[in-house]
Structure 1
Amino acid sequence: MTAFEIRTGVHAFRDDALGEHDAVGLADAIRRGEVGAAEAARDAAERVRAVDARLRAVEVHSSPPASGGAPGGGVFAGVPTFVKDNTDYRGLPTGHGSSAFRPRPARNHAPFARQFLSTGVTVLGKTRLPEFGFSPTTEYEGAEPVRNPWHTGYSAGGSSGGSAALVAAGAVPLAHANDGGGSIRIPAACCGLVGLKPTRGRVVANAQSRMLPLDIVADGVVSRSVRDAAAFLAAAEAYRPHPKLPPVGSVEGPAKRRLRIGLLPDSPNGVRTDTATRAAVLATGEALERLGHTVEPAVVAVDPRFTDDFLAYWGMLSFLIGATGRSLGADFDRRRMDPLSRGLRESYLAVWRQTPGVLRRLRSTAVAYAAAFRGFDLLLSPVLAHTTPRLGHLSPTVPYPQLIERILTYVAFTPVDNVVGTPSISLPSAHATDDGLPVGVMFAGRPGAERTLLEIAFELEADRPFRRIQDL
């Protein structure tokens, strides 16, 4: 099998067991006996081999099972997928995208891996991420980057760039992703996918997240359809309902209720959005009004120090990893961490005495954010302040002061939802860049508002189906 070339892009869609199915569709075909689970796993592995020489999205391969599908079934029973390589999966090494240590096979599944497996998926390996998930692009100091299947000269986003590249290219229908500052939504925007970051606590937290002074990480998936995102969340909730959040339940389409939606074309931290991204967001607002929703300007009055505080917290995470890295491997050497990680650590050491104030102000962001929702059901904004950059623009080899300025003027919208713990979703807009790359838009809601986010996503997907890479 060979990959299909599209100008400077690549995809793996073909007439095999996977066809053009999303995860729900493939699971239904397996359930009906039209496709075998083992056949689906084998064909997915072939698709991955066909595209990964170009995309470099896979960190670890796992042999397809002789017979696929979880014994107990599940909404995605028999659907082939990948786990991101910052999450333990028994028998496979967990490398965190780092060269600072030699990863060893995990003895047990991480809590989220068990939750993910409860959906019935067949895991074919692990996907690449930038070192410790710190970067919004999946690039490295001394290795090939993960490439965007729509145009291989561009970033696939980060930190779930490997997962997004495989799903967008059609190698698998959906894949694991997680998000500590935009790492589900950013690669979804770059690769034309659906990426839902759940409310804090909606999905089980891994041990590392529970130890943080402020848990900013949420796990989920990236997918090509809204119904896959909805089916995953319903299955995750069935595995472990959250006792204090409103239930999401099964969401299968738009709601009849019309919403009041606040429009945020520019970032709360003052970063202005580029022309192409702004046009995508405004066009989405116009589509929503045509569909009967009310769209009006909104204001998010976060503390002016929010960006500096988030950067300090980000640096603290790098410092903690450097200080505790021996837990990852006896040979861990923080001097081998990449320049971005080292720069974050050093920037934190310059301000570490301010940590109590940083944490206090970050926690208080919830008050300002809640005020922004007064009178609104959802907020509409860009995912990113500008369109997907070429590879190299955000490389960890760029001098740290220049690199961090570039990152902060790119990732200007997503971190607030991580700090507050609110849900948000990245959707492909109807617009594309001059090079044919996707442009994402983002909806955010109050804590527990995933159902409303999925309903609006279903409505936009039905109004103007998402662009497909195989049609180019």
Structure 2
Amino acid sequence: MTRVHAFGDDALGDLDAVGLVDRIQRREVSVPEVVEAAILRVEKVDPQLNAVAYEAFDRARAEAADPRGGFFAGVPTFVKDNVDVAGMPTRQGNDAYDAPPARRDGDFARMFLATGLVPLGKTQLSEFGFSPSAEHPRLGAVRTPWNPDHSAGASSAGSAALVAAGAVPLAHANDGGGSIRIPAAVNGLVGLKPTRERLAQDKLMRDMPVRIINDGVVTRSVRDTAAFLRESEKVYRALHLPPIGDITRPGKRRLRVALVTEGVGVGVAPEVHDLTLKTARLLEELGHTVEPVPVPVDDQFKDDFLLYWSLLAFGLVRGGRRANGPTWDPARLDNLTLGLARHAGRNLHRVPGAILRLRRSAKVSAAFFGQYDVILSPTLATETPRVGHLDPTRDYEDVIGRILEWAAFTPLQNATGDPAISLPLATTAAGLPQGMHFTAPAGREARLLELAYELEEAHPWARIQD
């Protein structure tokens, strides 16, 4: 197995974002040095990873000469190519239309960049983010640096691949069915999907009938994720949610943990099952109480979520020319997008019921968390597939079946709105990262971060450069 990374003895070293901030503030390195080192690292690894959708290196160099303020001032990053950043096109992981540069930052990018981060460009995703594996018939597949024969995961794949390979310490990701947590799991990273409405979001995502999409970051350390949420909260505060605050250490309270080892409507691979039980034993050794329970929703949830997901594709396909202009060519969309749109079109009469049940799932979750503090499950039901297994040019019925078998744990929290985090606590026999997934009640990101700190300290995760 050949790993791809760019860690070395330059201005970035092997530091996370918080460590890099400290080094910049001590004037051990300058912001221009840090940004130039990141650009060189991207150029080294991207030919093998295919993670970059749009380069903005000259802009980053100009910003490095006079960085904006904020805790992360001067820290290089990337933005996923499905949110607007002024001066950069938003291509949504496809080539079905010509995307002009955005006129202004979207609401999320405005908040994200206000923390001081310096964008080097935008990262590749699956077409419109529909597939949990970013593989495109013309734009190519995004590959994990742990083994480029394998997928880098869901639609935040480009961001995750670059962070895992050491090109940047953190990068933007968003999650409508697992797309922060899945690529974090695949690439050995920390990936926290915040509570619904926790962070600023672009209008398109705010206007959804069920607001399943949440923005965040993928990082190599718990403290980077915690620091990002702390700094974001200074820029944008969701007043109806309890504040997260500055979480810097493990919590003292011992938790009631519900252990779920079966996905919604599917089982898990034996190795993944065993690795999840190993994580449960670690929790017990740390003094937490772990109780096996069935998944808290029935099989209808899978059908409802698929239909709602398909409805998004239906709207994009039907409204593509109106939204994207005369260059729109649906013939250049992949089979997965078109198949999802057909599925919705054939089942429009079922949509109101599906939306109603998805909205009700928040109440089901709240009742469940009356008994438990946290849920533990695997992030994914099987080991990371090889590139081609989820090829979106396959027959729709074939590829959607494979998707549902793999991504069986993450969509639930998009419906309920609960926060969830994938931690790189396990490694398969083949040497690939296998994420472990923790869910808390709405508004309780602090609980997840405290637990994550404890687990990171008790069981430091594998590093790609070792």
* Cα contact 1:70–1:77 (8 A) shared by 2: no
Answering whether residue 130 of structure 2 is matched by residue 148 of structure 1, we say: no
Cα displacement string for residues 346-367 of structure 1 (whole angstroms, at most 9, x for unaligned residues): 0111101111111111111122
The answer for the alignment partner of 2:300 in structure 1 is 305
Answering whether residue 437 of structure 2 is matched by residue 437 of structure 1, we say: no
Look up the equivalent residue of 1:88 and give its one-letter code. Answer: D
How many Å separate the matches in 1 of 2:113 and 2:296?
Answer: 40
Which of 48, 55, 58 is the aligned partner of 1:61? 55
Cα displacement string for residues 445-469 of structure 1 (whole angstroms, at most 9, x for unaligned residues): 1000100000000000001111100
The answer for the alignment partner of 1:377 in structure 2 is 373
How many Å separate the matches in 2 of 1:278 and 1:74?
Answer: 42
Answering whether residue 265 of structure 2 is matched by residue 266 of structure 1, we say: no
Once the two structures are TM-superposed, the CA of residue 335 in structure 1 deviates from its matched residue by 2.9
The answer for the alignment partner of 1:84 in structure 2 is 80
Mapping of residues 371-410 of structure 1, within 5 Å: 371-410=367-406
* Cα contact 2:7–2:165 (8 A) shared by 1: yes
Once the two structures are TM-superposed, the CA of residue 375 in structure 1 deviates from its matched residue by 1.8
How many Å separate the matches in 2 of 1:315 and 1:297?
Answer: 32
Answering whether residue 184 of structure 2 is matched by residue 188 of structure 1, we say: yes
Answering whether residue 74 of structure 2 is matched by residue 74 of structure 1, we say: no
How many Å separate the matches in 1 of 2:345 and 2:254?
Answer: 49
Cα displacement string for residues 396-431 of structure 1 (whole angstroms, at most 9, x for unaligned residues): 0221101111101111110010011110000001x3
* Cα contact 1:69–1:77 (8 A) shared by 2: no
Once the two structures are TM-superposed, the CA of residue 287 in structure 1 deviates from its matched residue by 0.7
Look up the equivalent residue of 1:129 and give its one-letter code. Answer: L
Answering whether residue 11 of structure 2 is matched by residue 17 of structure 1, we say: yes
Secondary structure of the 1:94 match is coil
Look up the equivalent residue of 1:96 and give its one-letter code. Answer: Q
Once the two structures are TM-superposed, the CA of residue 298 in structure 1 deviates from its matched residue by 2.4
Cα displacement string for residues 251-298 of structure 1 (whole angstroms, at most 9, x for unaligned residues): 00101111111100111x231111221122111111111111111112
Cα displacement string for residues 4-61 of structure 1 (whole angstroms, at most 9, x for unaligned residues): xxx4221000100000010011011111111101110000000000000100100111
Cα displacement string for residues 109-158 of structure 1 (whole angstroms, at most 9, x for unaligned residues): 01100111011011000000010000000101223211110000000001
The answer for the alignment partner of 1:240 in structure 2 is 236
Look up the equivalent residue of 1:15 and give its one-letter code. Answer: D
Aligned length: 463
Judged with a 3 Å threshold, the aligned counterparts in structure 2 of structure 1 residues 438 and 105 are, in CA distance, closer, same or farther, namely same
How many Å separate the matches in 2 of 1:76 and 1:210?
Answer: 27
How many Å separate the matches in 1 of 2:375 and 2:402?
Answer: 25
Once the two structures are TM-superposed, the CA of residue 240 in structure 1 deviates from its matched residue by 1.3
How many Å separate the matches in 2 of 1:71 and 1:152?
Answer: 34
Cα displacement string for residues 310-354 of structure 1 (whole angstroms, at most 9, x for unaligned residues): 111111000111122232333112232111000000011110111
| CA-atom RMSD in angstroms | 1.2
Mapping of residues 112-131 of structure 1, within 5 Å: 112-131=108-127
How many Å separate the matches in 2 of 1:112 and 1:8?
Answer: 36
How many Å separate the matches in 2 of 1:257 and 1:350?
Answer: 50
Cα displacement string for residues 50-109 of structure 1 (whole angstroms, at most 9, x for unaligned residues): 000100100111123245287552221110000000011111111001121011100000
How many Å separate the matches in 1 of 2:67 and 2:160?
Answer: 28
Cα displacement string for residues 160-186 of structure 1 (whole angstroms, at most 9, x for unaligned residues): 000000000000000000000000000
The range that moved more, 10-19 or 301-310, is 301-310
How many Å separate the matches in 1 of 2:276 and 2:430?
Answer: 19
Mapping of residues 163-312 of structure 1, within 5 Å: 163-267=159-263, 269-312=264-307
Answering whether residue 454 of structure 2 is matched by residue 422 of structure 1, we say: no
* Cα contact 2:69–2:116 (8 A) shared by 1: yes
Give unpaired runs (5+ residues) of structure 1: 1-6
The answer for the alignment partner of 1:4 in structure 2 is none
How many Å separate the matches in 1 of 2:217 and 2:19?
Answer: 16
Answering whether residue 444 of structure 2 is matched by residue 449 of structure 1, we say: yes
Secondary structure of the 1:282 match is helix
How many Å separate the matches in 2 of 1:335 and 1:364?
Answer: 37
TM-score, normalised by the number of residues in structure 1? 0.96
How many Å separate the matches in 2 of 1:239 and 1:72?
Answer: 14
The range that moved more, 336-345 or 319-328, is 319-328
TM-score, normalised by the number of residues in structure 2? 0.97
Judged with a 3 Å threshold, the aligned counterparts in structure 2 of structure 1 residues 331 and 66 are, in CA distance, closer, same or farther, namely closer
How many Å separate the matches in 2 of 1:24 and 1:69?
Answer: 20
Judged with a 3 Å threshold, the aligned counterparts in structure 2 of structure 1 residues 69 and 454 are, in CA distance, closer, same or farther, namely farther
How many Å separate the matches in 1 of 2:358 and 2:111?
Answer: 29
Answering whether residue 114 of structure 2 is matched by residue 108 of structure 1, we say: no
How many Å separate the matches in 2 of 1:107 and 1:51?
Answer: 30
Answering whether residue 314 of structure 2 is matched by residue 314 of structure 1, we say: no
Secondary structure of the 1:175 match is strand
The answer for the alignment partner of 1:49 in structure 2 is 43
**Percentage of identical aligned residues:** 52
Look up the equivalent residue of 1:23 and give its one-letter code. Answer: A
How many Å separate the matches in 1 of 2:307 and 2:159?
Answer: 28
How many Å separate the matches in 1 of 2:198 and 2:267?
Answer: 32
* Cα contact 1:261–1:379 (8 A) shared by 2: yes
The answer for the alignment partner of 2:325 in structure 1 is 329
Structure 1 runs, 4 residues or longer, greater than 3 Å off: 69-72
Look up the equivalent residue of 2:437 and give its one-letter code. Answer: M
* Cα contact 1:299–1:372 (8 A) shared by 2: no
* Cα contact 1:300–1:369 (8 A) shared by 2: no
How many Å separate the matches in 1 of 2:154 and 2:43?
Answer: 22
How many Å separate the matches in 2 of 1:351 and 1:408?
Answer: 18
Secondary structure of the 1:232 match is helix
How many Å separate the matches in 2 of 1:74 and 1:121?
Answer: 8
Look up the equivalent residue of 1:277 and give its one-letter code. Answer: V
